[in-house]
């Protein structure tokens, strides 16, 4: 296949995120079944698989947007299986969404600022002026610069073109400075140049954190991710480096559909 991986060996960090026997049963339809996922600290880890393989469901389970039927989720060694979604985010595991998730009628700057606002500890202060939020503008602009959006700071997010919305979403997620970043198809629906930019951006932000991403685009995964987990019908089909999984006959069969 394309471009030989120019990755170093994955850092031999400890596990930052782990699932054991993670299962989700939607009234008889088993979307995720017995998934054991091990994400090492400091790596970029991809979750790939054909449509309906359960990738997004795994994401929703990890971030507690839905509750697992069985299995446990450990984040930094702590059991978060019963935690609430906002708690998971506050502990440092923040997700993005498959369809772009901006706040459409807020300005670009306000989008990022909402994410920066929580650490001020005034988010329940309905008696304070919002002028107190101006202190966050410097940091917000820095984050926007990192994704080339500083020039659009006063535009309303809904008016941005699609690629820029994704960039804004990424800047908003990074505003929380998460230890683990979960990206749900970050390049989906993007043009070729945009894909390149986003890949560069992910590589850059992954320097200080762990990234787990769902991706459809195999060429993106090839030279970006240290570890790849292939899901099929809710279960793990294969796991390893790109070189390993891309030559695995079972993976090829799942993707290309070699007749048995």
Partner 1 sequence: MSGPPGLQEARAAYRAGIITPGRKRAFFIAMALSGLALPLAVYPVFLMNVLCMALFASAFNLLLGYTGLLSFGHAAFLGSAGYVTGHVLKEWGWPPELGLLAGTAVATLLGLLIGGLAIRRSGIYFAMITLGFAQMLYFLAVQLPFTGGEDGLQGIPRGTLFGLIPLDRTLPLYYLVYAIFLLGFFVIYRTIHSPFGHVLRSIRENEPRALSLGYDVDRYKLVAFVISAGLSGLAGATKALVLQFATLTDAHWHKSGEVVLMTLLGGMGTVMGPSVGALVVVTMDNYLSGVGDWVTVIIGSVFVVGVLAFRRGLVGEALHFARNFPI
Least distance in Å: CB of 39 to partner 1?
A: 18
Q: Which ranges of 23-107 would DSSP assign to H, the alpha helix?
A: 55-62, 85-91
Q: Could you tell me whether strands 180-184 and 93-95 are parallel, antiparallel, or unpaired per DSSP bridges?
A: parallel
CB nearer to partner 1: pick between 81 and 122? 122
Output the smallest distance, CB 139 to partner 1, in A.
Answer: 15
* Structural tokens at position 154: 């006063």
In the complex, minimum distance from the CB of residue 193 to partner 1, in angstroms, rounded to a whole number: 26
Element (H, E) at 150: none
Give the pairing type, strands 78-79 and 235-240: unpaired
CB of 131 to partner 1, least distance (A): 9
Give the nearest distance from C-beta 173 to partner 1 in angstroms: 8
* Strand order, beta sheet including 210-214: 93-95, 180-184, 210-214, 44-48, 227-232, 235-240
Nearer to partner 1, 43 or 172 (CB): 172
Nearer Cβ to partner 1 (53/175): 175
Q: Least Å distance between CB 192 and partner 1? A: 27
CA distance linking residue 231 with residue 237, whole number of Å: 5
- The residue among 96 and 187 lying less far from partner 1, judged by its C-beta, is 96
Instruction: Rank residues 157 and 231 by Cβ distance to partner 1 and give the closer one.
Output: 157
To the nearest whole angstrom, how small is the minimum distance from the Cβ of residue 233 to partner 1? 26
| Cβ-proximal residues to 231 (8 Å cutoff; 6+ apart), any chain | 35, 47, 48, 49, 53, 54, 55, 58, 237
**Exposure class string for 112-130: b at 16+ Cβ within 10 A, else e:** bbbbbbeeeeeeeeeeeee
If we measure between CA atoms, which residue out of 207, 193, 204 comes closest to residue 164?
A: 193
Rank residues 8 and 127 by Cβ distance to partner 1 and give the closer one.
Answer: 127
Q: Widest CA span of the chain, in angstroms?
A: 68
Q: Report the interface residues with partner 1, using CB under 8 A.
A: 63, 65, 84-87, 89-90, 94-97, 101-106, 110, 113-115, 117-118, 120, 122-130, 132-133, 154, 156, 158, 172, 176
Pick the closer one to partner 1 by CB: 60 or 227: 60
The residue length of the chain stands at 260
Radius of gyration over alpha carbons of the chain, in Å? 19
């Amino acid at each position: 296949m394309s471009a030989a991986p120019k990755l170093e060996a994955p850092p031999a960090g400890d596990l930052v995120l782990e699932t054991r026997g993670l299962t989700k049963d939607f009234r008889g339809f088993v979307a995720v079944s017995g998934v054991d996922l091990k994400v090492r600290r400091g790596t970029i880890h991809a979750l790939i698989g054909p449509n309906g393989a359960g990738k997004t469901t795994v994401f929703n389970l990890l971030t507690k947007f839905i509750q697992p039927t069985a299995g446990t989720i450990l984040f930094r060694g702590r059991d978060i299986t019963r935690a609430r979604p906002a708690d998971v985010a506050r502990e440092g595991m923040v997700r993005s969404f498959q369809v772009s998730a901006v706040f459409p009628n807020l300005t670009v700057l306000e989008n990022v600022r909402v994410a920066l606002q929580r650490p001020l500890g005034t988010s329940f202060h309905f008696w304070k002026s919002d002028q107190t939020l101006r202190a966050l503008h410097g940091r917000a602009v820095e984050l926007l610069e990192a994704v080339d959006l500083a020039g659009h700071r006063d535009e309303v997010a809904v008016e941005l073109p699609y690629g820029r919305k994704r960039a804004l979403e990424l800047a908003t997620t990074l505003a929380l400075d998460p230890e683990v970043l979960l990206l749900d198809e970050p390049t989906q629906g993007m043009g070729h140049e945009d894909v390149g930019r986003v890949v560069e951006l992910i590589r850059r932000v992954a320097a200080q954190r762990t990234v787990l991403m769902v991706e459809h685009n195999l060429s993106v995964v090839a030279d970006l991710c240290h570890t790849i987990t292939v899901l099929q019908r809710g279960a793990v089909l294969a796991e390893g480096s790109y070189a390993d999984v891309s030559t695995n006959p079972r993976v090829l069969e799942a993707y290309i559909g070699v007749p048995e």
